[in-house]
Amino acid sequence: MSRADRIRGEMERLFEEAMRIHEKDPDLADRYAELAWRIKLKHRVDLPPRWKGSVCRKCHSFMVPGSSSRVRVRRGMVVTRCLRCGDTRRYVID
């Protein structure tokens, strides 16, 4: 197993734990997401594709649609807004 695979596995574990704990303790879920983001930056690896849109790029909080983020589909794009800091991301739909 390569170093990058081990690191991605650790980030995957952090995100799964954040998803599990989010309803009970959103601050702890945000901490897990922030840790995964720091691991990503330190080791220069990509986030697992499944979790790519789950971290706010501005405040690094864990974003769950309907709870900590708002997701809308408008004019051929998906608009995601973080409810903690208000940052908006737009993704074009192909």
Report the 3 state secondary structure along the chain: CCHHHHHHHHHHHHHHHHHHHCCCCHHHHHHHHHHHHHHHHHHCCCCCHHHCCCECCCCCCECCECCCEEEEEECCEEEEEECCCCCEEEEECC
CATH code, domain with 57: 1.20.5.420
Boundaries of domain holding 52: 3-92
| Tokens read off for 93 | 């739909």
Mean pLDDT of the region 11-27: 94
pLDDT of residue 1: 80
What pLDDT, in 10s, does the model give residues 51-79? 888 999 999 999 999 999 999 999 999 99
pTM (predicted TM-score): 0.84
Structural domain tally of the chain?
A: 1
